[in-house]
C-alpha cells in the first residue's frame, strides 16, 4: 500500500516552493520521523510533518510524486512539542520552517544515509551504570539560596533569579536540577550559557555533582565548538533520554529533549543568546516559550537582567509574567563584613578615577598603578579590562593624515604588534605593516588608540621595578618580575589555548590578567582582588539606545570577578577610569544599584516608546552598491504603503506600523558588500508580526525591480539587539 507523506525539507528560497512537500512511502510514518528524500538532483534530510498532504506544496499527481529514499531507523520521531517550537520560531522570526528545523539538527545527521546511520548507531556506547553517590555531596545552601529554591519548587514560573555576582546562582541551578531528576527517573534538564568558553567549567561542575548518580553519559554538551561527530553523539544521547542534563549555548534551545522538565538560562541578559545570522532567534525568549510547550520550569539568572526580563518580572498586578527572585548577598559575606564607608556588603568597593585630572596621555592613573603594585606585592591577582583587542585600533601618518583603512570595508584595520600585521576584524583582510606611509612615504607612522596587546606590554614595563613575593631563584636572585598575561580572541585562537591560560590564572602563575569581555563573564577567579576598567566611556554616547544597558552589565560582570574568595572579598576593589565620573551610570554602579539603573532606563525608554514598550524589526539589505541596497528597502516600503491598504481588514494593522527611511548600517561596507537597513516599529507586537508576514510577498516582488539590480540578499531581524 502506498502512503502519501508531508515531508518538511529545507527548500531553496528562490525555488518558490513551500517547505512541506508531498512524497510517497510504502509504510505510514509517524510525524517527526527522520527520512532521506530526493530534492531536485540531490538527496536531503527531511522530517515527516504533521500536516495533511492537501496542505503541502508540490505535485499532487500520484504518477509524479517521488518516493522517499529511506528512513533513519533507530532514531525515534521528534516530539510534537519540538515541532511546535520550530514552527513558532520560524513564524515569529520570519524564516522558512524547513530552514529552522533542519538547521536545528546536527550537521552530520543531515548528511548520513540510512545505512551510515545504522552503522553509527550500532557502535553507540552503552550508558554507564549509575554508581553510589557519596563522593561529592551537595553543599549546604545559604538561607537566601534555600529560600529561592523553595520558591521555585512552589510556583510554576517562569522565574527571574536576580542574584549578585558571587551569590551562588550556579549552586541554585545545580540544586534545582538535582530535585527535578530525583523526582522523575526520566526527567531531563537543559542548562544554557552564553558563550562556548564558559561550557567546560560548567560541565566539570555538573559532572562532579551528577556523574556518580546517573553515569558519565548523563551530562553532555552542545555547542558549535564541537566537532560534527561530537555534536551528533550528544544530540543522540539527549534525544534517546540517555543524557539527563544538556549544557550548551544558544543552539541547545533546539535540542531534542523528550522529557524536558527544567530549563536554566544563565547570564540571561547576554546578547550572545541572539543569533546574528540565518533565523535571528533569541534563545532566551524561545526557552520561555519552550518551557510552556513542554510543561518545564524556566529559570533565567543574572546579576544584571535584561531590561525586557526585568520589566516582565514586575508585580503581577502591574502586568508582570515572571516571578522575580532575589539573592543580594555574596556567599560568605556575613562572615566577612565590609567595614569601609560606602561599600556594599560582600561586594568590592567601586572607585571612580577622574581622568580629567591625570596626565593627558596617561593609560593608567597613578592611584590605580599604585594599587596594582600593592596587590602584586601581597601575592594577589589583578584583572585589567579593555574591550578592544590588538595593539592599536588604527595606524596613522601625521604628515598626510593616512589611516589604516580596510580596502574592502568601511572600517580601519587593527595594528597587531606581535606579528606586525594590519588586520581587519570584519572581513579578515591582513597585510604586513608598511615600513613607511603608503601615501606619502613618511617613515614615522604611529598607532592611535589602545588595545589589549598594548595594555599588556605597557603594564609589564610599569611593573618592572617590583618583584613577585617568594620568587627568588638562581635566574632571578632579586625575585621574578610580575607576570602579565592576556586573554582575548587573538591569544586563544589555537585549540586548547584558552583552557591552558585559564589554568595558569587559577594556579596563581599570573599576577595581572589583561583581557576583553571574554574574561569579564562567568569565570570563577578565586584570587583576583582588583578589577580595573581602563576606558569604558565610549558606550555612554553611542547611537544605540541599548549601549548603556550593555556597558552597565559588562562592568558589573567584570566587577564580579573580584573578591570571590570570601576571605578576600572585604578588601577587593573595582577601579573605573573615566572622563565622566558624575555620570548616573557610574553612580548606580558604585552602589551596585541595578534596580535604580533599570528604573531610570525604563523610564527613558517608555518616554521614547522604545522596547520593551514597543516592538521592532530591522530589514537589512546587502548589495553591490549602497544605492541598490537603499533602493530595495525604500521601494519595499513604498509598495507596502501602496498595496497593503487595499487588502481587506489591513487598515487597522497599518495604522499601528511605522516604517522609517532606509539608512546605511553603522559599518556600511564589509568585504565589498554594501549594507543598509530599515527600522519597522509598532506599539503592538501582534500587529508587527501580522505586517511582516503580509509584507514578505511584497519584499520578494520588489527584488525584481530594475533599481534593485545588484541586490545580493535581504533579511528580517525581529527584536534586534543592535540598531
Summarised one tens digit per residue, pLDDT across range 195-243 is 887 788 888 889 989 988 888 889 999 998 889 999 999 999 999 999 9
Whole-number Å distance between alpha carbons of 261 and 296: 4
Summarised one tens digit per residue, pLDDT across range 77-87 is 999 999 999 99
On the question of pLDDT at 127 being above 70, the answer is no
> Are residues 290 and 173 both part of a single domain?
yes
Summarised one tens digit per residue, pLDDT across range 392-423 is 999 999 899 999 999 999 999 999 999 899 99
Q: Choose among 216, 271, 277: nearest CA to 244.
A: 216
Banded pLDDT at 337 (limits 50, 70, 90): very low
Of the residues 88, 122, 156, which one is the last residue of a structural domain?
122
On the question of pLDDT at 327 being above 50, the answer is yes
pLDDT at 74: 86
Q: Is residue 466 part of a domain?
A: no
Binding residue positions: 397, 400, 406, 409, 424, 427, 437, 440
> Are residues 564 and 706 both part of a single domain?
no
All cell numbers assigned to 515:
583581557
Banded pLDDT at 535 (limits 50, 70, 90): confident
- The residue with greater pLDDT, 474 or 76, is 76
**pTM for the full predicted model:** 0.89
Banded pLDDT at 112 (limits 50, 70, 90): confident
On the question of pLDDT at 58 being above 90, the answer is no
Banded pLDDT at 161 (limits 50, 70, 90): very high
On the question of pLDDT at 382 being above 50, the answer is yes
> Are residues 170 and 301 both part of a single domain?
yes
Of the residues 67, 88, 122, which one is the last residue of a structural domain?
122
On the question of pLDDT at 128 being above 60, the answer is no
> Are residues 597 and 673 both part of a single domain?
no
pLDDT at 57: 56
User: What is the residue range of 521's domain?
Assistant: 349-389+483-607
Banded pLDDT at 564 (limits 50, 70, 90): low
> Are residues 509 and 378 both part of a single domain?
yes
Angle subtended by helix axes 547-559 and 594-608, to nearest 10: 170
Whole-number Å distance between alpha carbons of 220 and 210: 11
3-state secondary structure of 174: helix
pLDDT mean across residues, the chain: 88
> Are residues 46 and 148 both part of a single domain?
no
All cell numbers assigned to 606:
517608555
**Main-chain phi, psi angles of 254, to 5 degrees:** -95, 5
Summarised one tens digit per residue, pLDDT across range 272-289 is 999 988 889 999 999 999
- Decide: 234 and 222 in contact? Cβ < 8 Å: yes
CA geometry: angle 492, 550, 171, nearest 5 deg: 70
Whole-number Å distance between alpha carbons of 525 and 635: 54
> Are residues 601 and 702 both part of a single domain?
no
On the question of pLDDT at 324 being above 50, the answer is yes
- Decide: 188 and 328 in contact? Cβ < 8 Å: no
pLDDT at 224: 87
On the question of pLDDT at 498 being above 90, the answer is no
pLDDT at 55: 58
pLDDT at 212: 85
Q: Is residue 414 part of a domain?
A: no
Give the lowest-confidence range in 122-131, 189-198, 222-231, 590-599: 122-131
pLDDT at 334: 44
All cell numbers assigned to 160:
527571574
pLDDT at 64: 74
> Are residues 193 and 322 both part of a single domain?
yes
Other beta carbons less than 10 A from residue 697's beta carbon: 11
Q: Is residue 685 part of a domain?
A: yes
For 495-519, what is the mean pLDDT? 88
Q: Is residue 587 part of a domain?
A: yes
> Are residues 259 and 323 both part of a single domain?
yes
Binding residue positions for Zn(2+): 397, 400, 406, 409, 424, 427, 437, 440
pLDDT at 252: 95
713: CATH? 3.30.70.260
Q: Is residue 426 part of a domain?
A: no
| Domains identified in the chain, total number | 4
Instruction: Look up cell 500587529; give the residue.
Output: 687
Beta-bridged to residue 297, according to DSSP, are: 262
On the question of pLDDT at 129 being above 50, the answer is no
Whole-number Å distance between alpha carbons of 255 and 721: 24
> Are residues 110 and 221 both part of a single domain?
no
* E-state strands within 598-719: 615-623, 658-659, 663-670, 673-682, 711-718
- The residue with greater pLDDT, 132 or 649, is 649
Whole-number Å distance between alpha carbons of 13 and 599: 44
> Are residues 54 and 117 both part of a single domain?
yes
> Are residues 309 and 359 both part of a single domain?
no
Whole-number Å distance between alpha carbons of 546 and 604: 11
Q: Choose among 83, 86, 110: nearest CA to 96.
A: 86
pLDDT at 19: 83
Amino acid at each position: 500500500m502506498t502512503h502519501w507523506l508531508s515531508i518538511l525539507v529545507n527548500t531553496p528560497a528562490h525555488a518558490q516552493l513551500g517547505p512541506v512537500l508531498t512524497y510517497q512511502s510504502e509504510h505510514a510514518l509517524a510525524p517527526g520521523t527522520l527520512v532521506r528524500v530526493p530534492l531536485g538532483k540531490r538527496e536531503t534530510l527531511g522530517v515527516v510533518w504533521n500536516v495533511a498532504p492537501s496542505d503541502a506544496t508540490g505535485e499532487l499527481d500520484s504518477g509524479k510524486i517521488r518516493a522517499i529514499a529511506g528512513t533513519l531507523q533507530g532514531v525515534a520521531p521528534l516530539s510534537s512539542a519540538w515541532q511546535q517550537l520550530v514552527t513558532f520560531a520560524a513564524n515569529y522570526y520570519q524564516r522558512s520552517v524547513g530552514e529552522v528545523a533542519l538547521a536545528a539538527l546536527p550537521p552530520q545527521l543531515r548528511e548520513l544515509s540510512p545505512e551510515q546511520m545504522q552503522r553509527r548507531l550500532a557502535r553507540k556506547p552503552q550508558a554507564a551504570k549509575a554508581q553510589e553517590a557519596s563522593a561529592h555531596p551537595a553543599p549546604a545552601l545559604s538561607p537566601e539560596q534555600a529560600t529561592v529554591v523553595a520558591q521555585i519548587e512552589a510556583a510554576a514560573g517562569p522565574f527571574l533569579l536576580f542574584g549578585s555576582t558571587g551569590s551562588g546562582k550556579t549552586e541554585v541551578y545545580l540544586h534545582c536540577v538535582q530535585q527535578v531528576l530525583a523526582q522523575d527517573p526520566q526527567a531531563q534538564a537543559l542548562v544554557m550559557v552564553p558563550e562556548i568558553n564558559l561550557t567546560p567549567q560548567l560541565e566539570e561542575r555538573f559532572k562532579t555533582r551528577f556523574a556518580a548518580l546517573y553515569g558519565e553519559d548523563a551530562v553532555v554538551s552542545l555547542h558549535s565548538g564541537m566537532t560534527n561527530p561530537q555534536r551528533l553523539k550528544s544530540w543522540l544521547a539527549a534525544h534517546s533520554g540517555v543524557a539527563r542534563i544538556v549544557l550548551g549555548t544558544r543552539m541547545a534551545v533546539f535540542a531534542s529533549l523528550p522529557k524536558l522538565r527544567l530549563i536554566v538560562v544563565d547570564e540571561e541578559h547576554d546578547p550572545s543568546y541572539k543569533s546574528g545570522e540565518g533565523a535571528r532567534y533569541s534563545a532566551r525568549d524561545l526557552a520561555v516559550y519552550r518551557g510552556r510547550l513542554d510543561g518545564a520550569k524556566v529559570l533565567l539568572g543574572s546579576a544584571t537582567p535584561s531590561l525586557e526580563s526585568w520589566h516582565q518580572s514586575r508585580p503581577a498586578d502591574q502586568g508582570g509574567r515572571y516571578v522575580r527572585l532575589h539573592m543580594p548577598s555574596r556567599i560568605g559575606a556575613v562572615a566577612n563584613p565590609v567595614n569601609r564607608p560606602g561599600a556594599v556588603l560582600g561586594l568590592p568597593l567601586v572607585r571612580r578615577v577622574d581622568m580629567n585630572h591625570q596626565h593627558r596621555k596617561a593609560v593608567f592613573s597613578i592611584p590605580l598603578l599604585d594599587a596594582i603594585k600593592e596587590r602584586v606585592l601581597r601575592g594577589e591577582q589583578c584583572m585589567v579590562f579593555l574591550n578592544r583587542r590588538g595593539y592599536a585600533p588604527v595606524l596613522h601618518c601625521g604628515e598626510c593624515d593616512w589611516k589604516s583603512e580596510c580596502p574592502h570595508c568601511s572600517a580601519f584595520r587593527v595594528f597587531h604588534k606581535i606579528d606586525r600585521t594590519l588586520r581587519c576584524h570584519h572581513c579578515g583582510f591582513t597585510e604586513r605593516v608598511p615600513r613607511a606611509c603608503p601615501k606619502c612615504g613618511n617613515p614615522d607612522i604611529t598607532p592611535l588608540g589602545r588595545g589589549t596587546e598594548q595594555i599588556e606590554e605597557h603594564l609589564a614595563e610599569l611593573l618592572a621595578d617590583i618583584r613577585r613575593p617568594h620568587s627568588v631563584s638562581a635566574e632571578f636572585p632579586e625575585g621574578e618580575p610580575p607576570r602579565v598575561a592576556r586573554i582575548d580572541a587573538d591569544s586563544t585562537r589555537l585549540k586548547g589555548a584558552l583552557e591552558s591560560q585559564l589554568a595558569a590564572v587559577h594556579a596563581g602563575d599570573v599576577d595581572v590578567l589583561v583581557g576583553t569581555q571574554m574574561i569579564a563573564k562567568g569565570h570563577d577567579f578565586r584570587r583576583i582582588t582588583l578589577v580595573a576598567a581602563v576606558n569604558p566611556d565610549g558606550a555612554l554616547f553611542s547611537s544605540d539606545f541599548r549601549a548603556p544597558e550593555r556597558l552597565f552589565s559588562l562592568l558589573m560582570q567584570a566587577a564580579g570577578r573580584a573578591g570571590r574568595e570570601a576571605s578576600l572579598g572585604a578588601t577587593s576593589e573595582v577601579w573605573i577610569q573615566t572622563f565622566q565620573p558624575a555620570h548616573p551610570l557610574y553612580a548606580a554602579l558604585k552602589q551596585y544599584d541595578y534596580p535604580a539603573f533599570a528604573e531610570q532606563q525604563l523610564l527613558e525608554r517608555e518616554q521614547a516608546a522604545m522596547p520593551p514598550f514597543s516592538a521592532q524589526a530591522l530589514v537589512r539589505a546587502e548589495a553591490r552598491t549602497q544605492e541598490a541596497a537603499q533602493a530595495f528597502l525604500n521601494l519595499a516600503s513604498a509598495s507596502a504603503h501602496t498595496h497593503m491598504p487595499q487588502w481587506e481588514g489591513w487598515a487597522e494593522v497599518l495604522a499601528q506600523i511605522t516604517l522609517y527611511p532606509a539608512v546605511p548600517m553603522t559599518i556600511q561596507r564589509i568585504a565589498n558588500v554594501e549594507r543598509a537597513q530599515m527600522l519597522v516599529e509598532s506599539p503592538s507586537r501582534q500587529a508587527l508580526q501580522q505586517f511582516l508576514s503580509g509584507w514578505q510577498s511584497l519584499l520578494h516582488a520588489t527584488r525584481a525591480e530594475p533599481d534593485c539590480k545588484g541586490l545580493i540578499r535581504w533579511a528580517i531581524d525581529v527584536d534586534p539587539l543592535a540598531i
